[in-house]
Structure 1
Amino acid sequence: MPLKLTETFVQRVKPDSRARTYGDGRGGHGLTLHVQTNGAKWWYQRLRIHGQPANVGLGGYPLVTLPEARHAALRNAQVAQDGGDPRPRKRPVPSVADTLAAVIERDAPTWRHPDRTAKNWRNVLRRHASDVLALRVDEVTSADCIAVLAPLWNTKRETGRKTKRRLAAIFNLAIAEGHRTDNPIDQASAALPNRRGDQQRIRRQAALPYHQVADALSVVAGTNAWLGTKLAFRFLVLTAARSGEVRGATWAEVDTDAALWTIPAARMKAGDEHRVPLSTAALAALSEAQAIAGDNGLLFPSARGKPMSDVTLSKLLRENHVPAVPHGFRSSFRDWAAEQTAFPRAVMEAALAHKVADEVEAAYFRSDLLEKRSELMQQWADYLSSD
């Protein structure tokens, strides 16, 4: 790094496997850039106040630019030299629970389902991090975070990941508000079991060879799982849809007479409405699903009549030793379509709701190829039932 910070360095410096700090060199009045492992950048100043060393938060980058941070550091140094205290009057330090509420209030307008997501955030942290929630946000140590995450890391991978990410968001806000200068999750991460090999194994087993998909359907159908869960999995495979699209599907989106499921743009990854032709097998799954229809209009509600959790289908497969993840069945479908049919690539990609990568091609390619896709999805259903 340069002897003194530069605009280019501050803008381009990349996160590392652990948090890093970069000082502004001689004459910088203790100005320091803190770069977290998630890429967030914060300014603080090291100086002596009334003879005692202290860190003074100056805000986050790029909201506070390098020139602005230097100006604030110079002003603070002058105040401290004159015997004053440049730190703002201390506000009461909030608890972790209070800061969680502030994070939810800040982020909820950006969430697709604010009430449901907020409830999930609270429930996960109350269940697994209740001791931390009760602490002041400046009291939490990396050891506290390890105590929360370590029991989840190998046994409940998805829950552990969510808990870690949500705690990190809480402490990032605490840093921004001047209650902390570090995020204890950064240090805790280094002490958690290394899951790299586990992740590589999951990637290798994420999708089944297409000739094993019918067996997976049979395995799941023979379990004692909730009917809605089994039907959601079957529908997901038959439509080659994403898990979130299936779990959030409603009867209002389905036209059984036209054998068509229209997913609104707000629920699609690409932000465009997507029409899904329904094979006879997919329509049969919907016919069975009418027996569990509730007041909320969901095709596949949970056993308690609520939206299905995002880990329900993954858990179903894992507990029944199906070496795949829900999203992997889209890959199985794509491999089958490429190797066992003569449909053009464009039809296969449209079936997966993939955007055309080439902008020129996309400008001229306006059709969603519904008729061709209807034939393709029926052939997929026929293939899965042919054994």
Structure 2
Amino acid sequence: MPLTALKVKIAKPGRHVDGRGLCLYVKESGARTWVLRMQHNGRRRDYGLGSALDVSLAEAREAATALRRQVRLGVDPVAERRRSRRVVPSFERATRECYEALKEGWKNRRYANWISSFENHVFPMIGSKPVDQVDSALVVEVLTPIWLEIPETARRILQRIGSVLDFAHIKGWCEEEASLRSVRKGLPRQTAKTEHLKAMPYAEVPALMARLVAASPTTGRDALRFTIYNAVRSNETRLAVWTEFDLDQGIWTIPGERMKARETHVVPLSAPTIALLRRRWQERVSDDGLVFSNDGERPISDMTMTKLLRDAGIKGATVHGFRSAFTDWAAEKTDFPKEVADKALAHKLGNQVEAAYRRTDFFDKRRELMAVWAKHVDSPPATNDTKTAAKGAAD
């Protein structure tokens, strides 16, 4: 028999059926609760409709009818209710929480640029969107501008976005696990062929250095000067920390975990480099933080130094290309053996037998070489008159 308002009021402990799955549960304490029992996707589910003290019999029947309608339409009422109560953070907030949760497990500072890659390339486009609305189409939109321009960085960002969305799923912000496998199908193919990075001719480097020195010092300008002086890779500069330097001895020790060859590299510092570092030391915010950073924690972007070149009207040349300029200069303008220049660049010997017998790192010769390179870099730029005279002499 269906329930009546009186039966609801006087019902004793137990389950009292109204019909079509709507029941009144009465506990020993006297508490009365409405529950609708239904089948959903082959499973029996109980849906709570509230206390009988707050929900009348008529209201319980109306709520039950509404729930049955949702189920017929393929909607999961429990999931809908959970979704309505869930507070979904923005993609930027979810990313920063993911970063804070994961960073303690990272072994070195090479991952310090993890969050900066989002700040530079992702947050401006989708940072404010709820994390559960970030799908493959949005990720393609984010990666399109950089997919061919900086392919390695773009691939890393794709992997990192996947990590953030997995984290969001675990936290309950995204109901389903995100699959980004289709993202690459919406992007052009990245060619595997190796292209030599364009380099500035070594004769033009002094003019650039003079412009950098004359301009107001910034973290980016200091980083570019430092990179040129030492002929190192940009990442080796960007992630350098103060604990790697002995300025009294003029030595920079880069741990193997930060080197491409995975071997510790000891760099002899020239006088101009030491002077630059001593000035930055006076302005540091941390004794063990990043050298080229505004807060000691976040490294400058990998595009910061490149932008300085573009702003100076230098097209094509890359930061990495200064290593090539150094190599050409050493070969054409000095008598230092090629092995010394190669060691200065931290290149590994291709011949394994030769590598097994040659244990020296040519440190003293490299100190001389880097001092001469710094002298060339800081030499007065060639004027148009001297260029014309040199061309005439060559003719």
Q: 1:257 and 1:150, CA in 2 relative to 1: closer, same or farther beyond 3 A? A: closer
Per mean C-alpha deviation after superposition, the further-off stretch among 331-340 and 231-240 is 231-240
Give 1:376's match in structure 2, choosing from 363, 369, 374: 369
Task: Name the residue aligned to 1:315.
Answer: 307
Query: What is the letter of the counterpart of residue 374 of structure 1?
Result: R
Task: Name the residue aligned to 1:69.
Answer: none
Task: Name the residue aligned to 2:259.
Answer: 268
1:354-381 CA distance string (max 9 Å, x none): 1112111111111101011111111111
Q: 1:244 and 1:181, CA in 2 relative to 1: closer, same or farther beyond 3 A? A: closer
TM-score by length of 2: 0.58
Give 1:366's match in structure 2, choosing from 336, 344, 359: 359
Task: Name the residue aligned to 2:331.
Answer: 338
* Distance in 2 of aligned mates of 1:155 and 1:367: 39
* Distance in 2 of aligned mates of 1:154 and 1:364: 41
Q: 1:247 and 1:136, CA in 2 relative to 1: closer, same or farther beyond 3 A? A: closer
Task: Name the residue aligned to 2:183.
Answer: 185
Other structure's SS at 2:261 match: coil
Name the % identity.
Answer: 31
Other structure's SS at 2:260 match: coil
Q: Is the 8 A contact 2:253 2:264 kept in 1?
A: yes
The aligned runs of 1:131-146 (5 Å cut-off) are: 134-135=131-132, 140-142=135-137, 144-146=138-140
* Distance in 2 of aligned mates of 1:327 and 1:114: 18
Q: 1:362 and 1:102, CA in 2 relative to 1: closer, same or farther beyond 3 A? A: same
* Distance in 2 of aligned mates of 1:342 and 1:159: 38
Other structure's SS at 1:217 match: helix
Question: Which structure has the bigger radius of gyration?
Answer: 2
Other structure's SS at 2:346 match: coil
CA RMSD of aligned residues (A): 4.3
1:93-133 CA distance string (max 9 Å, x none): 99996997779978984663387455446655444224665
Per mean C-alpha deviation after superposition, the further-off stretch among 338-347 and 111-120 is 111-120
How far is the alpha carbon of 1:260 from its aligned partner?
1.9
Give 1:212's match in structure 2, choosing from 195, 199, 204: 204
4+ residue runs of structure 1 moved beyond 6 angstroms?
Answer: 92-96, 98-108, 151-161, 169-174
* Gaps in structure 1 of 5+ consecutive residues: 1-49, 51-89
How far is the alpha carbon of 1:350 from its aligned partner?
0.4
Task: Name the residue aligned to 2:109.
Answer: 113
* Distance in 1 of aligned mates of 2:325 and 2:151: 24
Task: Name the residue aligned to 1:231.
Answer: 222
Other structure's SS at 1:354 match: coil
Q: Is the 8 A contact 1:251 1:297 kept in 2?
A: yes
* Distance in 2 of aligned mates of 1:362 and 1:195: 34
TM-score by length of 1: 0.59
* Distance in 1 of aligned mates of 2:106 and 2:358: 32
Task: Name the residue aligned to 1:128.
Answer: 125
* Distance in 1 of aligned mates of 2:150 and 2:208: 23
Which structure exhibits the higher relative contact order, with contacts defined as CA atoms closer than 8 Å and separated by 6 or more residues? Answer: 2
* Distance in 2 of aligned mates of 1:272 and 1:156: 25
Q: Is the 8 A contact 1:229 1:300 kept in 2?
A: no
Q: Is the 8 A contact 2:140 2:186 kept in 1?
A: yes
Q: Is the 8 A contact 1:231 1:300 kept in 2?
A: no
Q: 1:164 and 1:132, CA in 2 relative to 1: closer, same or farther beyond 3 A? A: farther
Task: Name the residue aligned to 1:293.
Answer: 284
* Distance in 2 of aligned mates of 1:370 and 1:309: 29
* Distance in 2 of aligned mates of 1:110 and 1:216: 37
Give 2:348's match in structure 1, choosing from 352, 355, 366: 355
Query: What is the letter of the counterpart of residue 209 of structure 2?
Result: L
* Gaps in structure 2 of 5+ consecutive residues: 1-40, 42-78, 169-174, 381-395
1:241-299 CA distance string (max 9 Å, x none): 22222223233322233222222223222222211112222222223323322224347
Other structure's SS at 2:248 match: coil
Give 1:247's match in structure 2, choosing from 225, 232, 238: 238
* Distance in 1 of aligned mates of 2:379 and 2:216: 25
How far is the alpha carbon of 1:215 from its aligned partner?
1.1
